[in-house]
Amino acid sequence: MINVLFAARPERWTTYEAPLRRALANAGIEANLATDLPPAEVDYIVYAPNSDLQDFTPYTHAKAVLNLWAGVEKITGNETLKIPLARMVDPGLTTGMVEWVTGHVLRYHLGMDAHIVNPDHRWEPEAPPLARERDVVILGLGALGTACAQALLGLGFRVTGWSRSAKDVAGVTCLHGDAGLSKALSQAQIAVTLLPDTPATTDLLNADTLAQMPRGAYLINPGRGPLIDDDALIAALDDGQIAHATLDAFRIEPLPQDHAFWAHPQVTVTPHIAAETRAVTASEAVVENIRRGEAGEPFLNLVDRALGY
Ligand code: NDP
Ligand code: OXD
């Protein structure tokens, strides 16, 4: 019998208890799963970074922290955490992100706003280009970026992806490193940021890099707020360098009511809903890592704390 601590906001327990118990039973793992256990007896911690648990020191016996979020920026700097940390790669979350990104790319590609909001009843029958005539650039080719790139490729878009290390995704032009970023940005008619929040990605989109995008480009950020220098983006929007931005993640959440993004006519704000961890598939992912831990196999999706993701 192993002890699995669920450390997340109390309402999450209501959502996760049954799927986690089912996934444990399906994997043949006998576990005592609870929200309160003697710390020194805990084997695994299923974790959300906004839980009350911030000091891991008493968990002397634990083998891993299994994060329920894909983003780990709120936990990578925790110096009391010395055991392996796995981030969430959940097929349900990935599907949600693919659907959200595809929808917003298609909004820009098809110029949908011109017809959805048309108070002057303008009749300008200008058909949009085909996807094969449109360059979409995905910054970040990880679990989410790759899935989005493949879905957009499937719709016919010309897709370029950019990552830290070299990648090979069939049909996608894969670039990496600093030189790769300039090249990627120079063709980003529509850019989607699916990068983690790390010291190396802070303000990645700033006055210089936004200026490298084609004039009138569109920006979609379901990644994290600090990827973008907010003031630089507003200047680029005002100047027409960026035609419109759809932003789902912000430096401060909820986005403060007086933030310029709310009122800007060229910004769509969505309240961090691009994708969420889905309890059934996420529980299966968590339990697979517990199974691996118990079988002495390597954990999946481990975070490199030096890189911050
Ligand atoms: P992954 O860790 O799988 O992928 C991250 C990607 O970013 C990798 O391709 C990685 O490169 C690349 N990367 C990291 N640092 C750099 C850098 N300095 N320069 C260039 N590329 C870099 O993450 P996911 O795809 O699972 O998730 C991405 C982010 O999406 C999460 O970190 C989270 O912030 C956000 N997210 C937002 C949600 C929402 O609802 N808005 C929901 C879920 C996630 P390499 O491949 O070389 O390692
Ligand atoms: C996550 C998120 O990181 O929802 O999972 O942003």
Q: Which of 272, 291, 292, 305 is catalytic?
A: 272
3-state secondary structure 148-184: HHHHHHHCCCEEEEEECCCCCCCCCEEEEHHHHHHHH
Q: Which CATH class is domain 92-269?
A: alpha beta
Ligand 1 site, residue 178, Cβ cutoff 6 A = no
Residue 29 CB neighbour total at 10 angstroms? 17
- Cis peptide, bond prior to residue 128, ω within 30 of zero: no
- In this predicted structure, what is the pLDDT of residue 116? 94
Which pLDDT belongs to residue 143?
A: 98
Q: Cite the residue boundaries of each domain of the chain with CATH code 3.40.50.720.
A: 2-90+277-295, 92-269
* pLDDT of 254: 98
User: Which H helix or E strand runs over 287?
Assistant: helix 279-295
23 alpha carbon – ligand 1 mean position (Å): 27
In which residue ranges of the chain is pLDDT below 50? none
Q: Which CATH number fits domain 2-90+277-295: 1.10.3720.10, 3.40.50.720, 3.20.20.70, 3.40.640.10?
A: 3.40.50.720
Residue 216: exposure state from Cβ atoms within 10 A (0-12, 13-18, ≥19): exposed
Q: How would you class 38 by CB atoms within 10 Å of its CB: exposed for 0-12, middle for 13-18, buried for 19 or more?
A: exposed
- pLDDT number for residue 137: 98
Known active-site residue 61: no
The active-site residue out of 87, 109, 164, 224 is: 224
> So what's the pLDDT on residue 76?
96
pLDDT of 178 reads 92
Task: For the sheet with 44-47, list strands across it.
Answer: 31-34, 2-7, 44-47, 64-67, 85-86
pLDDT at 211: 98
